[in-house]
Amino acid sequence: MHEVVNPFDLSVIGSVPTHDWEAVDAFLARAKELSEDRTAWKKPHERAAILHRAMEIMKDRRDHLAMQVAAEGGKPLIDARVEVDRAINGMELCIHEIGSLKGTEIPMGITPAGDGRLAWTSREPIGPVVAVSAFNHPLNLIVHQVAPAVATGCPVIVKPAGDTPLSCFEFIDILHEAGLPKEWAKAVVTPRDVSSKMVADPRVAFFSFIGSAGVGWSLRSQLAPGTRCALEHGGVAPVIVDKSADLASAVPSLVKGGFYHSGQVCVSVQRVFAHSAIIDELASAMVEEVKKLKVGNAIHEDTECGPLIRPKECDRVAQWVDEAVSAGATLLCGGKKLSDTTYAPTLLLNPPADATVSQNEVFGPVVCLYSYTDVDAAIAQANSLDVSFQAAVYTNDLAGAMHTYRHINASAVMVNDHSAFRTDWMPFAGLKTSGHGVGGIPYTCHEMTIEKMIVIKS
């Protein structure tokens, strides 16, 4: 059995079974059989009914699921409840997408070669799905990877993060309770070599990955020919704050975007480029708000920043901050471990461009402020990294907003909102080394199907 601990006090809170290659091989074999036996495919109304029943079960267990997210993942309970609500809404989105999985007519007769023909497409499940997930949203990420497979009729095997498997295993159990045969959805915890072998198996039709870039790109390189994939990695999210920005609304937004889940979010605010005319006022206001954040055990109602997922991550963040301060950054607040598992919410002013906190995703409660006088130079610095995901700009100048939108490297730009904003139906995509493919429930449902054409000559 694999034990799971609360990342704040490292107390054991549960366990899940582990799986060797023999078990995974059997799951893959059965998934392949189900995909090839069209008589075994679930009808659309059957898939919708299963997802609807599962959604109702999740509603009934909302408080339990939220507490579980907080206990195993360290996400504050106030935010864990939001995650559960999003997961429930994600189920509804998947039900809706079942009715949207349709093809299109292909025009014929545009050239003489097409005369006398009628053509259209329909959508079919792509086949067995293998998903590997991350720790930071232990229920909602699983819903994003698994529920679209159920909606589209694909058998799915999901490997949650070893730190946070409880929510995943419970979600799979809920699907089974709702009527999905167990062979159609399996949760596994495996050693790394078994995971790699599972992902690389030629029976896998679609691979979904959420996690670090190094692991994601490595696994992609091991995929069998023909396996399609979607990879979601991290970024070092840049934010532009110009001198016209409304700081009264920008400050709480930036603090939430930077310190939500202690910065353990792939599009968390990390690099804030503020005009020199307002940076002192912005920094002072942010320090005031950041110092108010309550750090503690995520299962407590008043906690706003929970622990980092593992003690070694706390040590890593401390090392990065100490390095930046030694290199010339001004420590505005924080900058210290509060315990083996928690780190004080930290603001740094003008760390060097080559400092680790300026170059790499910190995935911790650290936000860096940089002063600029030329917005194009700030955008150039924002664009200088090999990552690109979501970005933001705070401004009351429409021309300035559009200038940043057009010139900053990002798949999405938020105007007067933080970079971590997301709804579960919008496209969510990392560019460059930040990912491959497009997430978001409608887009994932599309990726888990193939478009099949029929051409009739008459």
* Residue range 420-442, pLDDT digits in tens: 999 999 999 999 999 999 999 99
pLDDT score of 366: 98
Q: Are 364 and 344 in contact (CB under 8 A)?
A: no
Tell me the C-alpha distance between 28 and 186, whole Å. Answer: 10
Of 232, 313, 361, 447, catalytic: 232
For residue 232, indicate whether it is catalytic: yes
Catalytic residue list contains 368: no
Looking at residue 458, its pLDDT comes to 87
In the set 168, 266, 314, 368, the catalytic residue is: 266
Encoded tokens for 393: 């700009």
Nearest CA to 53 among 87, 82, 92? 92
For 151-202, write each residue's pLDDT tens digit: 999 999 999 999 999 999 999 999 999 999 999 999 999 999 999 999 999 9
Domain boundaries, the chain: 2-233+434-457, 237-415
Q: If you classify domain 2-233+434-457 with CATH, what class do you get?
A: alpha beta
Could you say which DSSP state residue 23 is in? Answer: H
Nearest to 349 by CA among 337, 333, 362, 365: 333
Distance CA 437, CA 348 (A): 33
- The domain defined by 237-415 folds into Aldehyde Dehydrogenase; Chain A, domain 2 (3.40.309)
Which distant-in-sequence residues (6+ apart) come within 8 Å of 194 by Cβ? Answer: 19, 20, 21, 24
State residue 301's pLDDT score. 95
CB 145 within 8 A of CB 157: no
Residues 453, 205: Cα–Cα separation, whole Å: 19
- Predicted TM-score of the model (pTM): 0.95
* Regions in the chain scoring below 50 on pLDDT: none
Tokens of 213: 């870039």
Are the C-beta atoms of residues 160 and 138 closer than 8 Å to each other? yes
CB-based contacts of 35-39 (< 8 A; 24+ apart in sequence): 35/125, 35/127, 35/128, 35/154, 35/155, 35/205
User: What pLDDT score does 357 carry?
Assistant: 98
Q: Which of 161, 134, 3, 138 is nearest to 74 (CA)?
A: 138
The pLDDT value given to residue 70: 98
Q: Which residues pair with 431 in a beta bridge?
A: 388
